[in-house]
Amino acid sequence: MIPEDLRYTAEHEWVAAADGGAVRVGITHFAQDALGDIVYVQLPEAGAAVAAGESLGEIESTKSVSELYAPVAGTVSARNEALVDTPEVINSDPYGAGWLVEIAVSDPAAVDALLSADAYRELTES
């Protein structure tokens, strides 16, 4: 369950092109499966600056609390407000309704430097 049209990080986030040069970010099926039932998500406010590789929030499941990392540098342009009341949608639809934030990317080339679907598949199968 690794969509070919997305980019990925070693921390199990996915990145998809969004409107206006922004990217949409979420966690992968692999990540949500490892976390178990997700019960809470803390996300940055729109307008927050994020740095690639730095924490941008937390995700809590019945098993643990994990950091969420920014896959690219930029400014948060939107966050998925629906996750406040229904964080469990990340488990059922991690690549759709379970997206986390949108980031206006400061360096579009940074997206191309992320893992391809094949590279992410190798990472998760090893």
CATH topology of domain 7-125: OB fold (Dihydrolipoamide Acetyltransferase, E2P) (2.40.50)
Q: Which residues face 7 on adjacent strands?
A: 15
In order along its 126 residues, the chain shows pLDDT tens digits of 899 999 999 999 999 998 888 999 999 999 999 999 999 999 999 999 999 999 999 999 999 999 999 999 999 999 999 999 999 999 999 999 999 999 999 998 999 999 999 999 999 997
CB 116 within 8 A of CB 10: no
Domain positions in the chain are 7-125
Distance (Å, whole) CA 75 – CA 70: 10
Predicted pLDDT of residue 74: 97
